[in-house]
Homo-oligomer: A and B are copies of this chain.
Amino acid sequence: MIENGQLSIVGIGPGHFDHISPAALRAIQEADVVVGYRTYMLLVRALIKDKETIKTGMTEEISRARGAVERAKQGGKVVIISSGDAGVYGMANLVFEVLRDMGWKRGDSPDIHIIPGITALNSCASLVGAPLGHDSCMISLSDLLTPWPIIERRIEAAASSDFVIGLYNPASGRRQRQIVRAQEIIKTYRPGTTPVALVKSAYRFRQDVTQTDLDHMLDFEIGMLTTVLIGNSNTYMYEGYMVTPRGYHNKYQLDGQILEGQTPGESLNLDNLVNFAPSIEVQ
């Protein structure tokens, strides 16, 4: 019996070796073949210089996924890499789509392994403070594969229910109107002073971080390598840091003292919200 090939779907995080997991590093080091988009392959070039590689361009995701599956099927260790987390708008779902199209069953070659990574939402947030202190969402503004009305409806839902919003793929050379429309929708629910961070190439050579607000975010360059972080109604700027509070001030003084009418370990008592500035109406 011939041994199954191994296909590892690996997220390399933002792209700096300080932020790639040991499991991801090891998978790449032990691979016979490494498959990926050219830019990401450059980020890990020190690890792959003596290996067989399959590099493809940006719009060639399907052939990349299919190539990786077919190569792994033959045997050996194949790694397909994505930046960030391979599951988040990455190669993981596409590999499964291709496997299904090929009629692959569990037990068939290749075996599949998925290695998580730090996605842009988290790596970018760490560069600007603590914007993800409360409920957040990720929305891709790319309408190349998703009908724009669906994307718009998600922006509207997230804005109206006060999620912290992370926008992936906000714009590209020829795709500019989506971010304009996103700002317009979000502004109908949040003040123009809402903190916004634009993070380009987090932890990479040309890293660029801009702190701005909802009114002024379009005054800055927003492109393919930018992640846009938009605060919720409680997010504030403090000494250059963007902070979304979890809500400790609803229940405690910041020396740990409990507020009157509140009980530790129990649901927040809504009749005693002395420090509370309601962002959305509470019945």
Contacts and interface: CB of A to CB of B under 8 A. Distances in A.
B93 A244 contact: yes
Given A118-B118, A140-B135, A145-B251, A93 B126 contact: no
A83 interface: no
A182 interface: no
Given A94-B246, A145-B268, A150-B162, A138 B140 contact: no
A58 to B, nearest CB: 9
Contacts of A21: 13, 18-21, 118
A116 B105 contact: no
A35 interface: no
- Interface band, chain A: 35 or more
Interface in A142-174: 143-151, 153-154, 156-158, 160-163, 174
Interface string A170-197: 0000110000000000000000000000
A37 to B, nearest CB: 15
B149 A282 contact: yes
B268 A147 contact: yes
A106 B238 CA distance: 9
Given A122-B85, A133-B87, A145 B279 contact: no
Interface string A14-28: 000111111100100
Interface of A: 9, 11, 13, 17-23, 26, 59-63, 66, 85, 87-90, 92-101, 104-106, 112, 114-119, 122-123, 125-127, 129-140, 143-151, 153-154, 156-158, 160-163, 174-175, 238-241, 243-252, 254-256, 264-268, 270, 273, 276, 278-283
